[in-house]
Each structure stands twice: as C-alpha cells, then as structure tokens.
Structure 1
C-alpha cells in the first residue's frame, strides 16, 4: 500500500493555494488602480467643467 495518491493530492492542493495567493492580490491591485484612475479622470473632468456662478430662474 502506497500513499502516492495522498501525497500527490496534498501537493496539488498546496500548489493551487500557492497560485491563488500569487494571482488574487495582483488582480485586486489592478482593480484598485483602475478605480483610482477613473476617480482621477472624473475629478479632472469636473474641475475642467465651466462653473456658472450666477443663478437664474
């Protein structure tokens, strides 16, 4: 009786978790950077819009 299947599955789970820990933070960083760029672009568009100080009816 060998434990090859058990050891192979343990290594497979280890590498899946290792890959998950490598990939997910990069995806989160990419998402946060995209949100910051969009927020900066939105702020720039808002600042560039002409502001009419006088109110009218």
Structure 2
C-alpha cells in the first residue's frame, strides 16, 4: 500500500494555503490604500482640508 496520493494532496493543500496567505493581505492593503486615496480626493473636492499628518503617537 502506498501513500503517494495522500502525500501529494497534503503538499497541494499546503501550497494553496501558502499562496492564500501571500496573496490575500496584499489585496487587502491595495483595497485600503485605494479607499484612502478616494476618501482624500472626495475631501479635497468638497474643500475640506486633509487631516494633519502627525507623526507622534497619542494615547
């Protein structure tokens, strides 16, 4: 009895999960950046000043 099919399936699932973990965060970041750019352009069109980019963290 051979476990070849089981091993191939296990590696295939492993590769799919690795690919998912690699791709999905990049898609989320791209979407968030696009949303932030669109929000900024809407605010500029309305004449509202963009919020000040303060580099100091406040609690």
Q: Shorter-chain-normalised TM-score: which range? A: 0.7 to 0.9
TM-score (ref. length: structure 1): 0.81
TM-score (ref. length: structure 2): 0.78
Give 5+ residue unaligned stretches, structure 2: 49-59
Partner of 1:6: 6
**Which of structures 1 and 2 has the bigger CA Rg?**
1
**Bigger helix share:** 1
Give 5+ residue unaligned stretches, structure 1: 49-57
Residue-pair matches, total: 48
Deviation at residue 29 of structure 1 after TM alignment: 0.3
What root-mean-square deviation, in Å, do the aligned CA atoms of Structure 1 and Structure 2 show? 1.0
Does 1 or 2 have the higher relative contact order (CA < 8 Å, sep 6+)? 2
